[in-house]
Each structure stands twice: as C-alpha cells, then as structure tokens.
A and B are shown apart, each in its own frame.
Chain A
Amino acid sequence: MAEIAIEKLDDLRFRIPRNESAGMRTDVIVYANAALLEHIRRDQSLVQAMNVATLPGIVGPSLAMPDIHQGYGFPIGGIAAMDIETGVVSPGGVGFDINCGVRLARSTLQESDVRPRLKALIDQIFRDVPCGVGTEGRMNIGRGQIDDVLRRGARAVIERGFGEPRDAEFAEEGGALKGALPEKVSDRAKERGAPQLGTLGSGNHFLEVQFVERVHDRTAAQALGIEEKQVVVLIHSGSRGLGHQVCTDYVALMNQVMPKYGIKLPDRQLACAPICSEEGQSYLGAMAASANFAWANRQGILHFLRGAFRRIFGDSVRLDLIYDVCHNIAKRETHVVGGKKREVLVHRKGATRAFPPGNPEIPAAYRAIGQPVIIPGSMGTASWVLVGQSGAMEETFGSVCHGAGRVLSRTAVRKGKNAREEQRKLEDQGILVRSETRDGILEELPEAYKDVDEVIEVVHEAGLAKKVARLRPMGVIKG
C-alpha cells in the first residue's frame, strides 16, 4: 500500500485530504501528537478512517481520536456524522458490542480502608459478579420480561430490585435510549443475551477497584463527589451476546440490501443502509434496544458489586453512581456544521460523548462542569475522569477518545509470558488480578496498549475535554 499523505495542521491535529479517486467524500482529521501518530500509522486504522469518508451522506470530516486502532470496517476510536435525510447508518460503525461503555461509582471508603482487606474484597467480587465466560448471569430475567428491559433499560432492572432509583439519572440518556424496538431484535439475539444479563464478558472488559490518585480540577472533582485517596469502582462492559447477535444479524441484512440502494463500499464490514430506509430504521430500533440491554447489564453488575462491598465492609458502605457513558453507539443529535444547525446521526465507534458545560443532556448536578467522560486505561496503569469542553462541540460532534488504544495483538503480547508470573508482577505494584480465563490476564497486559496519559493529554490540550482526576487500579476482575 502507498504511504498515506498526511498534512500537519498543528501539534495535535493532522489531515488526510479528501481523495476523490479513492471515493472519499470528505477529509480525515486525526487528533494525535507526533509519537502517537507513529503508532497509529503502523496498522490499518487510517485506511479504515479513509474508507469511512466514502460513506454516503457523511457530514464534516471522518474523525480519528488519539486512541484509534484497527477495527473491522470502521476503525476503533473513530467518529462519523451522517446527514439524517441523505446519510446511511452502518451497524459496523457502532460495533458488535452495542453500547459497550463505562460506569464509575464512588465509594465511601479511602484507599487506607480498603488496602488491608483488598484480597478479601477482590475474591468476594470475583464470586459475586459473574464474568459470564463459562457461567450464566444471576438476574433471572426470563424471555417474558426481556422486552421490558429492551424498552426501558436500567430502570426496568432497578424496579426489579437491582439498584437505586437515582442510578438511572446518572447514566447517559437516563439509562434508556428512546426509540427502542424490541420486535426488531431477533429471537436468537434475545435467547443468546437473556442469560448473560448482569455478566462482565471477556476480551477487554473488566471491573476495577481504584483510588483517586490525583485531582487535576478541584471544582469539577467536588461536583462529582470525589477527592484524592477515595476508592471508586469502574465497570467496563456492554450488551453481551444480545448486542453481538443484533450486529451480526443486521450486517448480514445490509450486505444483502446494499445493491438495492446502489451503495458500493471498499469493505463489506462497513455494510450500511439509508437512515430513512426500512432496514435503517429497523436497525436503529434494534440498536437502541441493545443499548438499553447494556445499561441494564452494567446496572446489574453495580448491584452485585454493592453486595460484595457490604459483605466485606458492612452495611453502611455506599457505592454511588458518578456517571455511565457509552462508547459504541449511533445517536441522532443536532450540531452546527459550517455555521448551520444540522440533524445528524453521530456514529461513535470507540468514542465517548463529551458535551460541554450547560448542555441540557447533562444531569443537573454536573451541568456547570460539563459531561463526565470516563476513560478506562489498561490493566495496571491508570484510568481518567474528564469533563466535556466546547472544543468537542465545535470540532468533533461532541466526542472524544474512549481508552488507551491497542498497539500489540493478543498473540504478540502473550509471547514468552507466563500468566502467574505477570499476575505476581502486578501484585508487586499493589494490583490484584483475578481472571476467569488463563489468557485473560496476558492478552490485556499494559504493554499491549498505548500510554493512556499521552492520549488524554492530546484531548485535553486540544480543548475537547478537560482532565479532572487520574485513577489508579488496586484490584482487577477480568473475564
């Protein structure tokens, strides 16, 4: 493949100009520093961002965040907005894990309270929160009740006793995306997903007990109710088999119908249909239902976590939800493009919404500071809490990165390593790890990822989101 021509716009922004002979309808803009860009150029992610620029109805540039890495069809860490009338919706632009996301809750404990009982706590969590790799969930939501979960998301399970009423208020979209159509979700997807509700999953999904290592913005931290040394928990999971099956079903359907709409694409995994078509609308209804399943899933996990904390620290300990963000989703939003307000469908594939202060979508308690953005780092390094800034609204359809971004494949990172030894190394750094699978630890080792601090620095310096706090892991549960 020929070297991709990249123009430097400034220290944090790079452009791949529109190339009509490659079918591109718009530019690609990459947010990165020079070192991260070197990493990014090593895989196919920029070619994939260029392929996204060929999609009909794309508005503004195809955007690449500093954590971008090669995905399937769409790159992971990419954003694309489509005109609501002339644009397309692509299930691959949302991903197989619909509403994969992150939930952060603050505890009433300090690092010094937890450290002496960390092992007991992590073992208890490992027992109480099913990973779901070889086991089923414990929420017992039967097939008769699944449609209610798909329609109402987090609230449907909170009302069944899996949480507190305030939890839903502190999730993006109130824990339920409007327009869910459970009847557009196949029976097979429901059958595959229902027993997995309330389970973590494997791959890069995890649950961490962390402490606030450093506060960078006191006002915002205060509004979020966190201070240095406070213990928090982070849950990274999605819509499990239900969302995976919905994406599988609709990628197959859209591959069949694309000729009908005269759509030709460089990669079949980008399969799409017009937003206004029957297939496009069915997918969006099924996607919203899957997103709601994911919020119910993370809600169930938080409920089981609360139980584990109470078993170790007594009934007075609390875990209050700070916020819950999704980073694999397509959402109908209004944005100003070229000075004009436009209705667009924003595909965020491995990208987090980051609305600035004052936006009505943000819970009232946080409206003055901006939407909380939770960025999970790799196991053993750090995670971050940011808040959205006006730059995101002006440049990136109100979006930022979603994680550190992989640099090494699963097979490459595993080479020559022993799971027990790596577990011991992390323990020496004060991080206990439990995994349901032997390879789970090895494949997600910190060296498989970019430096999360560097990724965060780019979005902070670019004015897309502001640093609030850096979180350090103490214990990790992996699928």
Chain B
Amino acid sequence: MEFELLEHPADIGFRARGRDLAELFANSAKALVWIMLDPEHIEPKQPIQFSARAGDYESLLVSFLNEVLYLVDSRRLALATFEIIWLSETHVDCIAKGEPRDIKKHPPKLVVKAVTYHQLKIVQSGEEWIAEVYVDV
C-alpha cells in the first residue's frame, strides 16, 4: 500500500510507505493529491519540474509537499506521477506529470491549507521507509 489516512480530531493526516526515501517522497505526494481531489482520471500528459530545500529530511518532506500543494491549489494542476530525480538531506528535485485541473474529470475533495510539522515522522522499519504527515484542512 502506497499510503493510508490517519485520523486527527480536526484535520487529516496520512502514513506513506516506500522502499527507499525517493519512493517515500513520491508516495507522500500522491497521498496529498488524493486528499485534495479524485485522482482516478488524471492523465500524466504534462511534465513539471520543481525542487525544495530544507535543513533535514523531515523539514524537506514538508517543503516538498508544500510545493506540491502550491502546484495543485494555485497553479491548478492535477498531478498523477512523481519521479524523484535527486534527493539529499537538504535538497529534492522532482518531475511530476499531470494535466490542468478539471472539476468534472477530477472532482475536488478538500482544500488543504498547509502541510504541517505536527507529529511529523520519517522512520525506517525493516526494508521500508514510513512517513507520517498531518495537513491542515
């Protein structure tokens, strides 16, 4: 399973998994898109490259997801795939693919205000990496 939802009294979170950190970042981005809109019919037509910087992996994940949020909420893109092309503790480069948002094709679910540091976690468990992230809705 790429991700599952986590409960919060007022808002919502997700637990994402990956075989490595790059896959973990990509699956976290998919979880965020899933919370915002119905991703079933997104076509990965148009590539868009973006990057994020921070001081450690956890902050980097928040910065990276806030970039995804900006692309979906402000640039109005529905994103289907995320390819991490470079990842270090302080820098991530990603090529996402998707298409312009269409209310009929990708019915909106929730407006996410921001990705938070609340109970933020990245841990390695056996062969997989797990991240827990909460978003403000």
Please report A residues at the B interface, Cβ cutoff 8 Å.
43, 45, 69-73, 76, 95-97, 132-135, 188, 191-192, 201-203, 241, 244-245, 247-248, 251-252, 255-256, 267-269, 271, 406-412, 436-439, 479
Contact = CB atoms under 8 A, between A and B. Distances in A.
B48 interface: no
B11 A269 contact: no
B111 A191 contact: no
22 contacts: A70-B8, A72-B116, A73-B117, A97-B136, A133-B108, A134-B108, A188-B70, A192-B73, A201-B111, A202-B108, A203-B110, A241-B113, A244-B136, A252-B62, A252-B66, A269-B117, A406-B9, A409-B8, A410-B8, A410-B11, A411-B5, A437-B108
A407 B55 contact: no
B108 A436 contact: yes
Contact of B111 (A43, A71, A133, A247): A133
Interface of B: 5, 7-12, 54-55, 59, 62-63, 66, 70, 73-74, 101, 103, 107-111, 113-118, 120, 134, 136-137
B73 A241 contact: yes
Q: Specify which of B7, B103, B116 lies most central, judged by the most chain A CB atoms within 10 Å of its CB.
A: B116
Contact of A134 (B12, B59, B101): B101
B55 A412 contact: no
A165 B54 CA distance: 46
Interface of B is mostly: loop
B118 A241 contact: no
B117 A268 contact: yes
A406 B7 CA distance: 13
B12 A132 contact: no
Q: Which 6 A-B pairs have the closest CB atoms?
A: A134-B103, A409-B7, A192-B74, A268-B117, A72-B118, A244-B113
A392 B55 CA distance: 42
Contacts of A191: 74
Contacts of B59: 252, 255
A367 B115 CA distance: 41
A201 B103 CA distance: 15
Contact of A479 (B7, B12, B74, B111): B111
A155 to B, nearest CB: 26
B102 to A, nearest CB: 9
A43 B118 contact: no
Contacts of A248: 66, 114-115
Contacts of A251: 117
Nearest to A133: B108
A200 to B, nearest CB: 10
Contacts of B117: 72-73, 251, 255, 267-269, 271
Nearest to A189: B74
B8 to A, nearest CB: 6
Contacts of A411: 5, 7, 12
Given A245-B114, A437-B110, 17 more contacts: A45-B9, A72-B117, A72-B134, A73-B117, A97-B136, A188-B70, A192-B70, A192-B74, A201-B111, A241-B113, A244-B136, A247-B114, A255-B59, A410-B11, A437-B108, A437-B109, A438-B109
B108 A407 contact: no
Contacts of B55: 255-256
Contact of A71 (B10, B54, B66): B10
B40 to A, nearest CB: 14
Nearest to B118: A72
A134 B93 CA distance: 28
